[in-house]
Amino acid sequence: MAFGGGLPRPSGPSREEALDTYIEKLGLTAREAQVCGFLLSTDLGVQEIADELFISRRVAQRHIASIYEKAGVTTRIGLYRDFDAWFDEGAN
């Protein structure tokens, strides 16, 4: 049964634990993994993510483009949907 509103599932990995596995599945670099974590767990914009990681906006944009390419999506919403679909399948 799927739970809405960001509620954790009663069994299995938490969304935070699953995020680590999802990042490994995508084959992200360490920096891409940090950016992906911000994309999926916060509502920060590109400049805010760049500021948090002490990188330029342009570098953050390149990391985001690489993440999207590896995930096979073109938008942040697409990344959310891909992660949610993967998580709902059992985080395998």
> Does the pLDDT of residue 56 top 70, yes or no?
yes
Asked if residues 3 and 9 have their Cβ atoms less than 8 Å apart, the reply is: yes
Please report, for the chain, the start and end positions of each structural domain, with discontinuous segments joined by +. 15-88
More confident residue, 12 or 14: 14
Query: Is the domain defined by 15-88 classed in CATH 1.10.10.10?
Result: yes
Give pLDDT, residue 91: 55
Give the rounded percent of residues in the chain with a pLDDT score beyond 70: 85
Q: Is 10 left (phi over 0), alpha (psi -120 to 50) or beta?
A: alpha
pLDDT band at 21 (very low <50, low <70, confident <90, very high): very high
| The pLDDT of residue 90 | 76
pTM: 0.83
